[in-house]
Amino acid sequence: MPNLKQLSKNAGLFTGGHRACSGCAGSIIINQALLTAGKNTVCSICTGCMEVVSTIYPYTAWGVPYIHIAFENSAAAISGVEAAYKALKRKGKIKEKWNFIAFGGDGGTYDIGLQALSGAIERGHDFLYICYDNQAYMNTGIQRSSATPLGADTTTSPAGTVIPGKTQFRKDLTEIVAAHNAPYVAQATPSNWVDFTKKVEKALATEGPTFINVLSPCPLGWRYPADQTIKIARLAVESKFWPLYEVENGKYKLTYKPRKEVKVEEWLKQQGRFRHLFTPANKHIIDDFQAEVDKRWERLSRLAEASAKRVERCE
């Protein structure tokens, strides 16, 4: 398991001084992932926040080979690289082991790039896909995506007299990927970094397509002070809005269980995008939000319990 002393000695492969906003969780996520993966790693990254801030010509923040690809094609690009690597290895032209990681935001993963991700998993390519989920199209003006939570105020789901923010619950992409029978699927946050880096390590050690969905708080789009990013991420976990779990060969496991009950409104009230929900007229939306969080947590708990019982019977 990675530890702080070990990771701090690894070479920094995502250089500081890039153009990310202060408090951006996306840059923390990429840094933590690459510290774990090491220098023998090739990345693809689709158009989005992290591509824009890290690759403005003639500068780059990347200390490993990377490909900037179109919005919808991060998984397709890394599939091609992995296939070329296998061909070169068969010919004896490459000896060492390389890792292949695709990065994409929620816009380029939940929505525009879902078909490429689905296809790459179905074909069985050996790669890790990391989605940094900031829950909107932040790079192009904070428009809602299918990852945007119920009630969130965005430029295309504005809170006002017509609608009280987004009127739909967020898509559960992690479960969609798990339904593809990928050998390893997980959720993580940069606040619980031991959990995240352990999952990166496990995903890279697993043969075949793997996926980690990482919550990526955004000070600009979520409207909170830039120094609160890690607190916001941690509160998402503690309130059970963003459960930390993994699905390994079809078996579910909760990798963290909150010790005390924290209502989801504690997480919501930290963010300006939900400010309008704290009025008498919109109180029912918070209730609906809490009910959905509870339903999803209960389902995950049942799946994890059933998986644990299957393991016990096998042993």
Residues 245-263 pLDDT 10s: 999 999 999 999 999 999 9
- For residue 144, give its domain range: 4-314
103: pLDDT strictly greater than 90: yes
Which pair of structure tokens corresponds to residue 224?
A: 């909170």
pLDDT score of 85: 98
CA-CA distance, 145 to 136, in Å (whole number)?
Answer: 5
What confidence category does residue 191 fall into, taking pLDDT thresholds of 50, 70 and 90?
Answer: very high
- Global confidence as pTM: 0.96
pLDDT score of 265: 98
**Average pLDDT for residues 212-222, to the nearest whole number?**
98
What confidence category does residue 275 fall into, taking pLDDT thresholds of 50, 70 and 90?
Answer: very high
Nearest-CA neighbor of 94 among 102, 84, 107? 84
Say how many CA atoms lie within 13 Å of 82 toward its Cβ: 24
Q: Per the omega criterion (within 30 degrees of 0), is the bond before 58 cis?
A: yes
Facing residues of 189 across strands?
none
CA-CA distance, 253 to 205, in Å (whole number)?
Answer: 18
Query: What percent of the residues of the chain are helix, what percent strand, and what percent coil, each to the nearest 5?
Result: 45, 15, 40
**Average pLDDT for residues 131-157, to the nearest whole number?**
98
Say which residue the tokens 């390994």 belong to: 248
94: pLDDT strictly greater than 90: yes
Question: Per the structure, how many domains does the chain have?
Answer: 1
pLDDT score of 244: 98
What's the distance, Cα to Cα, between the start and end of the chain in Å?
A: 24
Nearest-CA neighbor of 220 among 273, 150, 163? 273
- Judge contact between 253 and 303, C-beta under 8 A: no
The CATH number that applies at residue 259 is 3.40.50.970
**Average pLDDT for residues 217-234, to the nearest whole number?**
98
225: pLDDT strictly greater than 90: yes
1: pLDDT strictly greater than 80: no
Average model confidence (pLDDT) for the chain?
Answer: 96
**Average pLDDT for residues 173-197, to the nearest whole number?**
98
CA-CA distance, 203 to 200, in Å (whole number)?
Answer: 5
pLDDT score of 315: 63
3: pLDDT strictly greater than 90: no
pLDDT score of 4: 73
Q: Pairing between strand 245-248 and 184-188?
A: antiparallel
CA-CA distance, 215 to 206, in Å (whole number)?
Answer: 22
Q: Which residue did the predictor score with more confidence, 85 or 313? A: 85
**Average pLDDT for residues 207-220, to the nearest whole number?**
98
Facing residues of 186 across strands?
212, 246
9: pLDDT strictly greater than 80: no
CA-CA distance, 33 to 17, in Å (whole number)?
Answer: 18
Q: Find all residues with CB under 8 Å of 291, minimum gap 6, and list them.
A: none
DSSP state, 108?
I
Question: Where is average pLDDT lowest: 5-9, 180-184, 186-190, 262-266?
Answer: 5-9
26: pLDDT strictly greater than 90: yes
